[in-house]
Amino acid sequence: MNIHDKPKSLRPESVTQGPMAGSRKIYVHPDGRSDIAVPLREITLNPSANEPPVRVYDASGPYTESEPAIDLSAGLPRIRDPWLARRAGLDFYSGRPVQPEDNGSVSPDRLAPPCPANTSPRKGRDGALVTQYEFARAGVITEEMIYVAARENLGREAVLEGAEAKIADGESFGASIPAFITPEFVRDEIARGRAIIPANINHPELEPMIIGRNFLVKVNANIGNSAVTSSVAEEVEKMVWAIRWGADTVMDLSTGRNIHNIRDWIIRNSPAPIGTVPIYQALEKVNGDPTKLTFELFRDTLIEQAEQGVDYFTIHAGVRLGYIPLTAKRTTGIVSRGGSIMARWCLAHHKESFLYERFDELCDVMRAYDVSFSLGDGLRPGSIADANDRAQFAELETLGELTKIAWDKGCQVMIEGPGHVPMHKIKINMEKQLKECHEAPFYTLGPLTTDIAPGYDHITSGIGAAMIGWFGCAMLCYVTPKEHLGLPDRDDVKTGVITYRIAAHAGDLAKGHPAAQLRDDALSRARFDFRWEDQFNLGLDPDTARQFHDETLPKDAHKTAHFCSMCGPQFCSMKITQDIRDEVAAMEREKGMADKSAEFLDGGGKLYV
């Protein structure tokens, strides 16, 4: 059942708040910058562990504070305002008046109110430093860069030596992950175009985050409005719920009535970057007829959304007229909505795409608000059969061409990728993207590694996502169990986000990210010590872990029992191992273990030789 089909009494009147189980939100201050407060989550361990709390990345915003003071009408604290106020290149201005069609021409009685927290928009001046890319190229370290550097480091200063060892342990396929992230490293990566901080100057509520191959792998969750909306809180809740479970960015793919005003509420209350696909709204403004789209209408929609504070736009500027025939023989044609809309336009007019031809003018809008490009893969494969075909790669080459133009214009850029790709064809996607797109960050949907499991596409795609994250993909767009079948409900969104957090973390581990394994190790020790609560709380979803455990062994006493329901006390290998460990330790004290192994092996000889 979709959440919106629920009786009104079950619909959220407010948003989910309060800390994650066993955790507390903390804020750390980068050296010398007490004015910058970077959120982390600290998981407290049982005193018997004799271990410090484990610090983990936290994308959930103020909603997970112990006593959150949330007022959706007021929006989140505008933490970037002091930073933005000091930038000479930004000016407030009146902004574009909201048009009835911005809200899908909704009738007045159904109009959602605008968010009272709205203020006049800012805009960047020509020739001044406006985007993170421009600052980085000019050698200037912004507050956003300082912020993300601290955020990426978690608590790993404390475990330096171990951390360095971990780097050597991974296989990063040419990534350059340092032991510690410094603001200067962040600046350098952004200047090279290898990372972006999606941070619209009109999204001062943002807690900045970075997307790039040499940083932690990130996860995006998609949300969309519903036909029947009972309250703006319900729409904001979708974003709050997704970031609670670990979404680093949220794409709002809404269409229809009230989307402008609801987007306001979402952005004013989102600590995470918000992405959109503006062509969806543009299409609504021409009543759903792709052939009626114009460059002017599209640009106006970009400005509309940029003034609201959208942090990145998916723009399918690589769908060129000449590539469309390449899709005609495909098993599943064009499956990207934006791609098919633009293809329809190109064919109807027999003209090159206006997004491609006038890309430089789009860049001018993007730069003025520091909206990052997410260059859309409108020709991504929609099936295993179509993976890595000429249409897909032709577009990728064009995206590389557009990347350089965007950089020349001062914009931040990432590149979207597939889609549906069997395992043996994933790596070439990453390699080709790095080469063709000059190392701009890659942002893929999955990929799904098989098409035979509708209802389980979070898993078919989680496999591909983990692999491409390892190979160098910077952000993974989640897929929920409802993919291809219906609209995800709350449970689906949570399952999708957690599956993708697994994929991202597995990728970080395999790349040898210096801080990644600390959490695995802490959880493994908790498991071995039968610290059940610690095991739950160190996991990605403490609530579900606890619930699963309690189904079989609900008693509180079992939370410290030195066995679990799977094997019972007699059969517990961990218990036996504990005995073995004690025994070996005793022998070690007795006579030294250095050659114990060799002695036991009778001189290392093999049987039957």
The two beta strands, 475-477 and 218-223, are parallel
Q: Is there a binding annotation on residue 115?
A: no
Nearer to its own copies, 442 or 536 (CB): 536
338 is in an annotated binding site: yes
Q: Is 424 annotated as a binding residue?
A: no
Residue 205 or 377 having the CB closest to its own copies: 377
* Shorter beta-carbon distance to its own copies: residue 128 or 576: 576
Residues 6+ away with beta carbon under 8 Å from 36: 29, 30, 143, 146, 147, 150
Q: Identify the DSSP state of 76.
A: S
* Nearer CB in complex with its own copies: 119/291: 291
Q: Burial letters for 457-468: b for 16+ Cβ neighbours within 10 Å, e otherwise? A: bbbbbbbbbbbb
Taking the complex as a whole, the smallest distance from the CB of residue 450 to its own copies amounts, in Å, to 5
Indicate the residue among 82 and 322 with the shorter CB distance to its own copies.
Answer: 322
Beta carbon of residue 7, minimum distance to its own copies (angstroms, whole number): 16
Say whether 251 counts as a known binding-site residue: yes
Angle of CA points 102, 108, 112, to nearest 5°: 65
DSSP 230-253: --HHHHHHHHHHHHHTT-SEEEE-
Residue 369 known to bind ligand? no
Distance (Å, whole) CA 351 – CA 525: 62
**Shortest Å distance, C-beta 609 to its own copies:** 8
Q: Residue 484 annotated as binding?
A: yes
Please state the closest distance from residue 90 (CB atom) to its own copies, in A. 29
572 labeled part of a ligand binding site: yes
Kindly state the smallest distance separating residue 315's Cβ from its own copies, in Å: 15
DSSP conformation letters of 20-75: PTTEEEEEE--TT-TT--EEEEEE---GGG--PPEEEE--SGGGGSSS----TTT-
For the chain, report the end-to-end CA distance as a whole number of angstroms: 66
Instruction: Quote the least distance from Cβ 596 to its own copies, whole Å.
Output: 5
Q: How far is the CB of 248 from its own copies (least distance, A)?
A: 16
Nearer to its own copies by Cβ, of 41 and 122: the residue is 41
- Does the annotation list 549 as a binding residue? no
- DSSP line for 149-193: HHHHHTTGGGGHHHHHHHHHHS--TT----SS--HHHHHHHHHTT
Smallest distance from its own copies to CB 607, Å: 7
Specify the residue, 92 or 571, whose C-beta has the smaller distance to its own copies: 571
564 among annotated binding-site residues: yes
Q: Which is nearer to its own copies, 160 or 385 (CB)?
A: 385
Any binding-site annotation on 567? yes
- Contacts from 166-171 at CB under 8 Å and sequence distance 24+? 166/512, 166/513, 166/514, 166/515, 166/516, 166/517, 167/512, 167/513, 167/514, 168/512, 169/512, 169/517, 170/509, 170/510, 170/511, 170/512, 170/513, 171/470, 171/510, 171/511, 171/512
Sign of CA dihedral 568, 570, 571, 575: positive
Least distance from its own copies to the Cβ atom of residue 174, Å = 14
377 is in an annotated binding site: yes
Instruction: Rank residues 15 and 526 by Cβ distance to its own copies and give the closer one.
Output: 526
Smallest CA-to-CA distance from 112 within 244, 271, 241, 225 is with 225
H or E element, residue 268:
helix 259-268
Binding positions for substrate are 222, 251, 280, 316, 336-338, 377-380, 416, 443
Binding residues for [4Fe-4S] cluster: 564, 567, 572
Residue numbers belonging to the annotated binding site for Zn(2+): 420, 484
